[in-house]
Amino acid sequence: MRSRLRFPFVILTLLLATGGLHAEVTLAPLFTDGAVLQRDKPLSIWGWAEAGEKVAVAFAGQKREATPGPDGRWLVLLEPLPANPLGAELIVAGRNTLTLRDVVVGEVWLCSGQSNMEWPVSRATDAATEIATAIFPLLRHVRIEHTVATTPADTVKTGGWLPATPQNVGAFTAVGYFFARDLHQKLGVPIGIVHSSWGGTPVESWMSPAALAGDPAFAVVGERWTKNLADYSANKTAYDSAFAVWQTTEAAEKNKGAPAHAAWLKKNPRPRAPRGSGDPWTPAGLFNGMINPLLPYALRGALWYQGESNAERAAEYHPLFTAMITAWRAHFGQGDFPFYWVSLANYGVPSDGGERGRTYAFLREAQTKTLALPNTGQALAIDLGDPKDIHPTNKQDVGRRLARLAKSRIHGFVIDDTGPTFASATRAGKALRVHFTHAANGLVAHEKPVQSLELAGADRVFHPAEGRIERDTLLVTSPAVREPVAVRYAWFNAPEANLYSGSGLPAVPFRSDAW
């Protein structure tokens, strides 16, 4: 399933035109000054040069040589190195010599997803304080520029590795930064964040071509996109007309004053342009453009915050997400490296039980099911969101919860990393008793009795219910359901989720039914 790396077309054309006589050694995009390399793993260092030219790489007392193949690509493998905060030079010599300065060795995490991963520190809670106190020269961030590609690309533009300083940190991924800061302060080693995300994008854009081709059930993704492209011209004409009307009306509304303008915008959002060729929703387009160029950079693991754009088709998400993770691991060629994600935060108005008011609940369930993959973990944000804002600003706690997973499962800290998780529901008279895993420290309801509970009988109609905590179980009853057969908790887009473990971690939303 490994992506085949192709030599960039423009450079190849130039080489053919000049006979390849003056091809200089170049490096893959993550190799720049200030780079962070992963400790305790074999280190792939690669780039391009004239075919047949000998290339030598020297770093940390090791020297390796390689000869580029016909496509000009070369790669050397360095032996694993311990963490080292002292910046050193990485020297690559061929026809020319490249010297990377201040290269350190520590932990490297790939951070990807959509807008809640892309959300910067400058827009997080207490941003001014967070930026002013960001003095962590060994916590470094590299941003991968937005790039869509129709085939797997070799290279991509980056912003270079930047240290966490008040001058830089505002543009860092907030979730990634707060995760990395926690780890850096606990471990005392350099931490590198490779930030490759794009707001508003679906999981299928981040899947590799091999992953999308790996299951006949995924053909629907390509069929949808093919139809979308076929309809683009007509949709663009309709959009242009609608947008012109909207612009004219919006200009008139502005003249009525800011409050009236804001109220109008709330009811009349700007029309959305149709998606066409080169759009970030292109299946595999972001894997090709923003992940493939990073292969096979050594990583400790990956963090993922995405799913909002797939909520309307939540039934598809579990197999797609599972295939994406499996394929990324295969493409990077480093085994089942840790892959941790954020379960979607509460967003939207709590519903009366209608399906559209539960789309996020089903998407969260699809995420939870993906924990069946080895070496995966999930951090909940069900209690951290803003029902009126899809972008909650409390990214600090999201990062800390992700860091708990890494500290517990990788670095041996003895801490709880998962909240109460549904195990079973058994009949107890007119009630259902819910049993949990990860509730050894007991259950706690914050501030009020347990909220967002529902019970249903054989008619499959859910009614509001009450819960009574009894040690590490929850006894759920409803006066409207005398013979309950199913129970749900926090099964809405934006539930009030106040059930926690004694360790302070929120309970995972659950349902005992499969309706």
Residue 298 lies in a domain: no
CB count within 10 Å of CB 238 equals: 13
pLDDT digits (tens, 9 = 90+) for 8-23: 333 333 333 333 444 8
Residue 2 in this model has a pLDDT that exceeds 60:
no
5 pLDDT band, cuts 50/70/90, is: very low
Q: In this structure, is residue 439 part of a structural domain?
A: yes
Q: Are 309 and 201 in contact (CB under 8 A)?
A: yes
- Report yes or no: 89 and 103 within 8 Å, Cβ to Cβ: yes
Q: Would you state the torsion angle of the CA atoms of residues 416, 422, 425, 431, taken in this order, to the nearest 10 degrees?
A: 80
User: What's the number of domains the chain is made of?
Assistant: 1
pLDDT tens per residue across span 94-119: 999 999 999 999 999 999 999 999 99
Distance CA 308, CA 115 (A): 9
Torsion of CA 183, 188, 192, 198, to 10 degrees: 20
The pLDDT assigned to 129 comes to 98
Convert 108-146 to b/e letters by CB count within 10 Å (16 or more is b).
Answer: bbbbbbbbbbbbbbeebeebeebbeebebebbbbbbbeb
Whole-number pLDDT of residue 17: 35
Q: Are strands 443-445 and 499-501 parallel, antiparallel or unpaired?
A: antiparallel
Q: Are strands 26-27 and 43-48 parallel, antiparallel or unpaired?
A: antiparallel
Is residue 507 a part of any domain in this protein? yes
Distances (CA, A) of 395 to 59, 77, 116, 321: 36, 37, 9, 23
Average pLDDT over residues 371-385: 97
Q: How much of the chain exceeds pLDDT 90, in percent?
A: 92
**What would the mean pLDDT of 424-434 be, rounded to a whole number?**
97
CA 491 distance to own-chain centroid: 23
DSSP annotation string for 277-321:
TT-TTSTTHHIIIIIGGGTT---SEEEEE--GGGGGGHHHHHHHH
Q: Please give the model's pTM, rounded to 2 decimal places.
A: 0.93
Residue 22 placed within a domain: no
User: How far is CA 447 from each of CA 496, 498, 500, rounded to the nearest angstrom?
Assistant: 11, 8, 11
Residue with tokens 């053919």: 16
Task: State residue 353's pLDDT score.
Answer: 53
pLDDT in tens, 297-337: 999 999 999 999 999 999 999 999 999 999 999 999 999 99
Query: Is residue 243 in some structural domain?
Result: no
Q: Angle 359-369/314-332 helices, nearest 10 degrees?
A: 30
Q: The domain containing residue 489 runs over which residues?
A: 421-511
Q: Is 90 exceeded by the pLDDT of residue 26? A: yes
429 occurs within a structural domain: yes
- For residue 15, the model assigns a pLDDT of 37
pLDDT of residue 355: 72
Six token digits for residue 504: 């302070």
Is residue 493, in this structure, part of any structural domain at all? Answer: yes
Is the predicted pLDDT of residue 133 greater than 70, yes or no? yes
Question: At 265, which amino acid appears?
Answer: L
Across the range 40-48, mean pLDDT stands at: 98
- Spatial distance between the Cα atoms of 452 and 351, rounded to a whole number of angstroms: 11
pLDDT per residue as tens digits for the range 271-292 = 999 999 999 999 999 999 999 9
- Is 433 within the bounds of a domain? yes
